Amino acid sequence: MPRRATSNGARTRTAILQAAADIASVDGLDGLSIGRLATELTMSKSGLFAHFGSKEELQLATIEDARRRYAREVIEPTRAAGCGITRLYALCEAFLSYLERAVFPGGCVFASAMAEFDGKAPGPVRDRIAQCQDQWMGTLERAVREGQQRGELRISSDPRQLAFEVEAALLSANWYYHLFNDATYFDRARRAVRVYLASEATEAGLHLLPAATTTG
């Protein structure tokens, strides 16, 4: 009986956090509340309090759930893509696919969180958002460095700068798509990513990129 109760509790917590991350992608982490989640999930507030003792604890747990979903949907599918420039492009494509498939209804939950917390004072929630984003940027940077080691990207390229440029295209696709409800921004982002990578690629790396496309 205790084992079954523990299993049921874990499933309930998972359902709560999935709903919380979906809400946060639309209304932000500050839009989360025990009362709102109770209504959304038709649960009692006391039942939710048993899992999260404070709004900050709920926000931090929501970020962790979103991080796991992000890793599953964006990072893990690219592990078979190889290394270097191929992996870098695959990471960008996986991010755009994650947006197109509406893994979170409001778009990238971390893009939303960055916009929400960038002007706030440091604290556990803001710091965790920054840490997650830095980990993502580190993933992009490592792919750049691998590309340099493999002779696919110019050794003079600044890995952080190239990661920043492709990330700018990805975030723009997220925000413009949701603002205008126009999926052509995904294609614009793909084109921008290819231009950035081609500008830093060696001849060997250029052959590994997909063919250029045009955007109307």
Which pLDDT belongs to residue 1? 46
Return d(Cα 41, Cα 52) in angstroms, integer.
15
Which pLDDT belongs to residue 60? 96
Which pLDDT belongs to residue 211? 84
Assigned token pair, 56: 């900050």
Question: According to the 3-state scheme, what is the secondary structure of the chain?
Answer: CHHHHHHHHHHHHHHHHHHHHHHHHHHCHHHCCHHHHHHHHCCCHHHHHCCCCCHHHHHHHHHHHHHHHHHHHHHHHHHHHCCHHHHHHHHHHHHHHHHHCCCCCCCCHHHHHHHHHCCCCCCHHHHHHHHHHHHHHHHHHHHHHHHHHCCCECCCCCHHHHHHHHHHHHHHHHHHHHHHCCCHHHHHHHHHHHHHHHHHECHHHHCCCCCCCCCC
Which pLDDT belongs to residue 52? 84
Which pLDDT belongs to residue 185? 98
Which pLDDT belongs to residue 59? 94
Which pLDDT belongs to residue 50? 79
* Domain formed by 63-206, architecture: Orthogonal Bundle (1.10)
Q: Write out the chain's pLDDT in tens, 216 residues.
A: 455 545 777 888 888 999 999 999 999 999 888 888 888 888 888 878 778 888 899 999 999 999 999 999 999 999 999 999 999 999 999 999 999 999 999 999 999 999 999 999 999 999 999 999 999 999 999 999 999 999 999 999 999 999 999 999 999 999 999 999 999 999 999 999 999 999 999 999 999 998 876 554
Which pLDDT belongs to residue 175? 96
Query: Counting Cβ atoms within 10 Å, is residue 11 exposed (0-12), middle (13-18) or buried (19+)?
Result: exposed
Query: Counting Cβ atoms within 10 Å, is residue 51 exposed (0-12), middle (13-18) or buried (19+)?
Result: middle
**Bridge partners of 201?**
153
Return d(Cα 52, Cα 32) in angstroms, integer.
12
Return d(Cα 7, Cα 10) in angstroms, integer.
5
Q: Which amino acid belongs to residue 61?
A: A
For the chain, the straight-line distance linking the first and the last C-alpha, in angstroms and rounded, comes to 61
The domain ranges of the chain are 63-206
